[in-house]
């Protein structure tokens, strides 16, 4: 779940998405819009037969995260990939879009693994967010979330595995809200039309941890992180 995906990356990687959706909030009209695309529509997009602007990643963050999952996860052909776009070209979105995307994922997709390299410092929607994450966990999903620079959501919630890079973990004093630290200094990812090496951030650390789950299976304790184990 991120800022969409570059269709050029999908073509280059030969990746077929099983499903994808975009979620936007029209602040003036106060309406939340959802666009859910079928596998066939996504195949036509990837093959150049159509344009899906609402899914195209204008920032590159979502593409970079997906590229880490693909490159490091080494997932087999049986893995189905879903993309939910909730962030715009400035890498911003609205928490309502996150809620709607989680509604779509938990109702229609029921994924094994959810990567959330995003967050918000606001807590107004903590209750519905918690309920949706509860549903995801009850369905068996492992939910990984990047730690933010300040206390926020969904990082730190008991339903998610909160991941940070080493610098972030030091700053947050690991043990407060961070469940897992990725120690790599850099990561290989796809950005600006090519594979490159970039410094690790909490977003990319989250994707690395998710790739670890794809590659090696879910580590003990990640499937259910219980609230009493940590304080904020």
Partner 1 sequence: MKFTSKDVSKLLEEVSGSEVLVGHACATSYLNGQHYTWSGTQWVGTYYPVLKYPVGEDSSSSC
The token pair that represents 175 in the structure block: 């043990």
Q: Which of 178, 206, 208, 214 binds partner 1 (CB under 8 A)?
A: 206
Q: Which one of the spans 9-17, 84-92, 180-188, 218-226 is the region binding partner 1 (CB under 8 A)?
A: 84-92
**Residue 82 touching partner 1 (CB under 8 A):** no
Contact between 102 and partner 1 per CB under 8 A? no
Residue span 140-179 as binding mask against partner 1, x where in contact by CB under 8 A, dash where not: ------xxxxx-x------------x-xx--x--------
Give residue 87's region: left, alpha or beta (phi > 0; psi -120 to 50). beta
The contacts of residue 167 (CB under 8 Å, 6+ apart) are: none
Residue range at the interface with partner 1 (CB under 8 A); choices 9-17, 180-188, 193-201, 211-219: 193-201
Closest CA to 184 of 162, 168, 203, 165: 165
Instruction: State how far the alpha carbon of 28 is from the alpha carbons of 8, 25, 109, in Å.
Output: 33, 9, 30
Least spacing, CB of residue 76 vs partner 1, in Å:
28
- Single out the segment in contact with partner 1 by CB under 8 A; choices: 132-140, 178-186, 202-210, 212-220: 202-210
Question: Alpha-carbon distance 208 to 214, whole Å?
Answer: 10
# binding residues, partner 1 (CB under 8 A): 56
Residues in CB range of 73: below 8 A, 6 or more apart: 79, 210, 211, 213, 214, 215
* Non-local CB neighbours of 10 within 8 Å, separated by 6+ positions: 16, 17, 45, 46
Which residue's CB is nearer to partner 1, number 23 or number 81?
A: 23
The H or E element that residue 33 is part of is: strand 31-37
Should residue 231 be labelled a site residue for partner 1 when binding is judged by CB under 8 A? no
Q: Please list every residue from 23 through 62 that binds partner 1, using CB under 8 A.
A: 25, 27, 30-38, 41, 59, 61-62
- Interacting residue ranges for partner 1, rule: CB under 8 A: 2-3, 25, 27, 30-38, 41, 59, 61-62, 64, 86-87, 90-98, 100, 117-122, 124-125, 146-150, 152, 165, 167-168, 171, 192, 198-199, 201-204, 206
């Amino acid at each position: 779940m991120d800022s969409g995906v570059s269709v050029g990356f999908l073509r280059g990687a030969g990746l077929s998405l099983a499903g994808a959706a975009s979620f936007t909030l029209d602040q003036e009209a106060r309406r939340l819009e959802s666009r859910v695309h079928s596998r066939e529509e996504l195949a036509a997009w990837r093959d150049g037969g159509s344009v899906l602007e609402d899914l195209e990643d204008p920032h590159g963050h979502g593409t970079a995260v997906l590229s880490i999952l693909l490159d490091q996860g080494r997932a087999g052909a049986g893995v189905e990939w879903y993309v939910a776009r909730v962030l715009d070209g400035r890498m911003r979105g609205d928490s309502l879009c996150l809620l709607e995307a989680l509604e779509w994922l938990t109702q229609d997709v029921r994924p094994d693994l959810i990567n959330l390299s995003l967050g918000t410092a606001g807590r107004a929607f903590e209750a519905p967010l918690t309920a949706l994450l509860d549903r995801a966990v009850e369905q068996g999903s492992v939910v990984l979330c990047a730690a933010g620079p300040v206390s926020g959501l969904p990082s730190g919630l008991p339903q998610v595995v909160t991941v940070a890079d080493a610098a972030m973990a030091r700053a947050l004093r690991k043990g407060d809200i961070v469940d897992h630290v990725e120690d790599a200094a850099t990561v290989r990812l796809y950005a600006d039309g090519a594979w490159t090496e970039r410094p690790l951030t909490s977003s990319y650390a989250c994707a690395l941890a998710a790739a670890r789950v794809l590659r090696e299976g879910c580590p003990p304790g990640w499937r259910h992180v219980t609230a009493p184990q940590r304080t904020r």
